[in-house]
Chain A
Amino acid sequence: MKRLVLLCAVALGCRASASGDPADGTDGDDAGTAGEGGGDGGGSDDTDGGGEPAECEVAEPAPLRRLTPTEYRNTVRDLLGVDSSDLVADFPIDATVSGFDNNAAVQAFQLGHARAYQSAAEEIAERLLADPSLRDAVVGCTPAAPGDACVRELIEHLASLAYRRPVDASVVDALAAIAETAPPDDPWASVGLVVRAVLQSPRFLFRVERSGGASGNGSLQALDGYEVATRLSYLLWQSTPDAWLLQRAEDGALDETDGVAEVVRQMLEREAVDEALGAFAHGWLRLSMLDDLGRDPQLFPEWTPSLREAMRAEAMALVRDTARGDGLMAAYTLPRAWIDDELAAVYGLPAPGSDDPTPVELDGTADRGGLLTTAAVLALTTPTSITSPVRRGVYVWDALLCSPLPPPPPGAIGELPAPADVPKQQALEQHRSDPACSGCHDLLDPIGLGLERYDAIGRVRAVDEGGYPIVQEGFVPGLDDGSFGGGVELGERLRAMPDAQRCVATQVFRWAMGRSETPEDACVLDALTEVVAQTNGDYGEIIAALAVSDTFRLRP
């Protein structure tokens, strides 16, 4: 006998009733977000939009940030020309916070890191020295003895690039000293030792910011140009500042907000921004939830690791395309898909004849277009082979509205009957009939139910797992006109919501700052939200507004 077990002991209560405004009194976000997300929302006329410094006069302590594995790999590539992809694959995997893997608060430095950096540095030095063309490009002279003038020249050049600022003589001397420990008959070995020492230095592994902090008096200090360059470079390129950018720092171009804005615009032209945007998308949309998904092979024979990767690639492409095109808010509704042959089959579209994500226009394709119809989002919100309206609702509140609902009360039992026994909609209704559960589930379930027409891999279907006809209608609680059918319409509803706009601003903020927002960040988030509202979420404009803000440029 299968039955629905209901036992929600205590209602913690969700902040908004089904008829209320979900924006009201939002809080309880990851780091206690100041949840004034909303207000009247639609761009007020009295702001100037992106580019103007947000004068918030507040800067939270910026934790010392360690290079992520991706940043490490790109930095080594740009400094030395060495591919270390296989090496960083063995680095300890950074934990994600709200989907982002670059949150400095949890960037541990443990024995495992020291060990990984040591062996990577050894291997990178070996690869560099083993390839004469790479070696000559980096060294530019031929050392005759360990630590000779040639090696010293290399040290001065490499250290300032690797440490992202001019280096003191003492730093050069210390590296020269280690170079001199190489065997006399092996001068190239001294180059290897220098490279190994540089790659294990805290000045390389951490994004050191010397401004602020040391004074200890709590006052705000501006970052120097090199520090701003480093923040921008890792934000926009996920790599080290190049010679051009360091030169801009030296010229003082990054000491004033106008200069920063201009440099940001130039940096946005680079191709490297695309890869960084993919990483932003990965965090925002929590695409790592795709990693360990399993599917019943009987029900989903098409589920393969390559299909999973095609889903991931499409979601990243969608964000990339809109971030610098129609704006991130357009991602909710953009009628374009990026499909390979496998994903085309899931979408019921003609195969593009390619294993690479190929853009196709979706105008007129039923129930397809925008973020909420991507196979990635529909699959990653389905832990197993049976879709869960609750999970999909949770995802919308967490990732797209930045307003996670409270945890289930103690004793809440989440046992659902088999979908063949009780239609899902009915089971959920029964669940919500308990007032202890309805507070939150009134907000969650209607969203997920409106997405029931997509199965566990994002395919459009007519009947659910139990063989019952699909519930066609869902609604977004709190909206006057919140009803929708399917992901295209849900995207349209969300796109217009002030909370969704604020959430996009918040997600960019988390990614850019490498930390969760705090109540003190409400001011800068207000400003960024305004930019989102005015530009439809133009990534460059959001970044430019953030980069000139006190939050970005000052340190306590």
Chain B
Amino acid sequence: MTDTLNMSTLRRRSILAGLGSAIVLPLFQAATPGGRRASAAPGDDLRRLVIFQFPNGCYLPDWTPPTLGPSWQSTPILDAVFDHRDEITVVSGLSNEAVAMSGHDAVTNPHARRFAPMLTCTGVQPNGAGSASVDQLVAQALGGATAFPSLVVALTARNDLHEGRFSFSAPDAPIAPTLDPAQLFAELFADATLDPAAQARLVAERRSVLDHVLSDIESLRGELGTVDRVRLDAHTDAVRALEMSIQELGCEPPPSPTPTDPDDPSQREARCHALIDLCAMALACDVTRVVVFSMGATAGEPTYPFLGIAEGDHTISHLPNQDPVSREKYRAISHWKLRQFGHLLDRLAIPEGAGRVLDRCAVVALSEISHGGSHDTHALPVLVAGGLGGHTGGSHVAVPCDPTTLLLPAADKTWCMGSEHTPLANLWLTALGTMGLPDESFGNSTGVVEGLWS
């Protein structure tokens, strides 16, 4: 086993020799099919799920293209990704409001009731979400295919269970997002910087230590009650996953990210790009196949001096939209957030085989709410991209939607037709199928969304 590792490491290194460039793209081109993964990775069946969340909604009339159909027209916010129009389907009308309202009354914060259920589509509970989130269902099903079953990354975060967590491996098991590019880099790639001999020794030692830990858990298990055993089982699962990932000492490491100061707004975009770049590299190197990237926790208040805006993000979302100055601010920060999504799509355009990494991705961008002022989760802003499942972009589609509950002028909701809202859960159920995990239902789903993925 040690030999195998050495061989593959050397092979990877020889493939990559001379490519220690600071530029991301050539490295990707070389790294993708590299190493030991070549047999498993990027086969025809490689499927990836990428979810991009931006906080505090946006003003829908500034987001939604005025008409349905192909070649969606640009809008003040979607202008940020108009270069990618042919990649992107604009999906209007998905709602998570029923779920938000079904949350436990003990969770009183209106943002919290809507943020934690974004990827679970079940009402919040005092000790977590109502279920595991869609990204983690996929991660658990893909299991040990990659060193990291998923990456959960955020530009900024809060630590409150409901206002700050969006990915749950189990109803009461929130995942803490990684926030620091340097830390993310170290987790993904640090071991790959060791020389082969040191790597081999480390692997052997880790194996024996983890084997010991597993048998230690097992011996302890019999001494505990059933409730505690469940906890211990989580420990076992985590250690097993770690053991399985031990061979995956990463692909050729990219250059480490330039340090950025999280307290300095002028560095926020650079920090965001560093995180997104690492996520994209992790996907391209097949270190993971599931990425959730959060631009920030709901109700967060980062300020935007670099856009000439002094108020906090959440405060801006509560300013009256009728006021042109307020509306322009909300528009500007939404545009900035969506530009980061554009950056992600840029980065995923890395060549892979005959196509691009993006071709094997199901990508969804969304916010946890639609209307900031009312915390409304009817008609969420949602984009779908990536070529997985035969998805092609370019059009604006609407799912059945009840216009009477949308707090918008009639002219701004002509796309919303029907008598009932379509649950956001339908999108996740459809995505599960696209990821090769068809199921009967997810959360409060009522069916699948037709026409996005085949």
Contact = CB atoms under 8 A, between A and B. Distances in A.
Interface of A: 1-3, 5, 7, 28-32, 61, 63-64, 66, 90, 92-97, 101, 103, 105-106, 108-115, 118, 121-122, 170-171, 174-175, 177-178, 181, 193, 196-197, 200-203, 205-206, 208-210, 212-216, 288, 291-299, 305, 383-386, 398, 404-408, 410-418, 516
B212 A175 contact: yes
B212 A174 contact: yes
A118 B206 contact: yes
Contacts of B101: 410
B216 A383 contact: no
A115 B161 CA distance: 22
A188 B296 CA distance: 46
B105 A94 contact: no
Contact of A293 (B170, B301, B311, B323): B301
B374 A92 contact: no
Contact of B126 (A30, A112, A170, A408): A30
Interface string B262-295: 0101000000000000000000000000000000
B108 A414 contact: no
Contacts of B39: none
Contacts of A97: 126-127, 161
Contacts of B303: 294-297, 384
Contacts of A412: 110, 374
A114 B209 contact: no
14 contacts: A2-B322, A2-B323, A111-B238, A210-B224, A213-B225, A288-B158, A292-B300, A292-B301, A294-B301, A298-B310, A384-B301, A407-B107, A411-B407, A516-B126
Given A93-B159, A412-B374, A415-B373, A200 B175 contact: no
Contacts of B215: 174
Nearest to A304: B263
Given A64-B228, A110-B238, A404-B108, 8 more contacts: A94-B159, A108-B175, A112-B176, A200-B210, A200-B213, A293-B301, A407-B107, A407-B108
Contacts of B241: 111, 114
A31 B161 CA distance: 14
B217 interface: yes
A385 B310 contact: yes
B418 to A, nearest CB: 19
Contacts of A305: 263
- Which among B128, B300, B302, B320 has the greatest number of chain A C-beta atoms within 10 A? B320
Contact of A383 (B178, B312, B322): B312
B301 A407 contact: no
A113 B235 CA distance: 9
Contacts of B97: 410
Contacts of A203: 216, 220
A181 B208 contact: yes
Interface residues of B, number: 89
Interface in B159-174: 159-161, 164-165, 169-170, 172-174
Contacts of A30: 106, 126
Given A114-B242, A292-B302, A407-B109, A108 B170 contact: yes
A407 B217 contact: no
Contacts of A61: 227
B380 to A, nearest CB: 16
A492 B339 CA distance: 51
A95 B220 contact: no
Nearest to A515: B127
B238 A63 contact: no
B346 interface: no
A386 B315 contact: yes
Contact of B183 (A28, A64, A90, A114): A90
B250 to A, nearest CB: 13
B310 A114 contact: no
DSSP majority for the B interface?
A: mixed
B156 A28 contact: no
Nearest to B201: A183
A242 B107 CA distance: 39
B180 to A, nearest CB: 8
B454 interface: no
Interface string B3-40: 00000000000000000000000000000000000000
- Which among B149, B165, B224, B265 has the greatest number of chain A C-beta atoms within 10 A? B224
Contacts of A418: 319, 323
DSSP majority for the A interface?
A: loop
Contacts of B86: none
Contact of A115 (B159, B187, B220, B376): B187
B318 interface: yes
Given A115-B242, A203-B216, A294-B303, A7 B374 contact: yes
Contact of A407 (B113, B126, B127): B113
Given A31-B126, A115-B187, A410-B97, A214 B322 contact: no
- Which among A97, A170, A171 has the greatest number of chain B C-beta atoms within 10 A? A97
B318 A214 contact: no
B320 A206 contact: no
B160 to A, nearest CB: 5
Given A197-B212, A212-B225, A109 B235 contact: yes
Contact of A105 (B127, B158, B242, B315): B127
A122 to B, nearest CB: 8
A296 B107 CA distance: 30
Interface in B50-90: none
Given A64-B228, A95-B160, A212-B225, A197 B213 contact: yes
B227 A112 contact: no
A175 B208 CA distance: 11
A383 B314 contact: yes
A288 B373 CA distance: 25
Given A105-B172, A109-B234, A296-B303, A32 B106 contact: yes
B345 to A, nearest CB: 27
Contacts of B158: 288, 291-292
A113 B46 CA distance: 27
The 4 closest A-B pairs by CB, nearest first: A213-B225, A296-B310, A108-B173, A384-B312
B319 A415 contact: yes
A30 B104 CA distance: 9
B205 A193 contact: yes
Nearest to A101: B159
B144 to A, nearest CB: 10
B126 A94 contact: no
Interface string B223-241: 1111110011011001101
B299 interface: yes
B148 interface: yes
Nearest to A31: B126
A292 B156 contact: yes
A95 B126 contact: no
Contacts of B175: 92, 108, 110, 112
Contact of B220 (A106, A178, A202, A415): A202
B331 interface: no
B353 interface: no
B227 A64 contact: yes
B161 A96 contact: yes
A106 B172 CA distance: 5
A114 B407 contact: no
Nearest to A407: B108
Contacts of A114: 235, 238-239, 241-242
A213 B110 contact: no
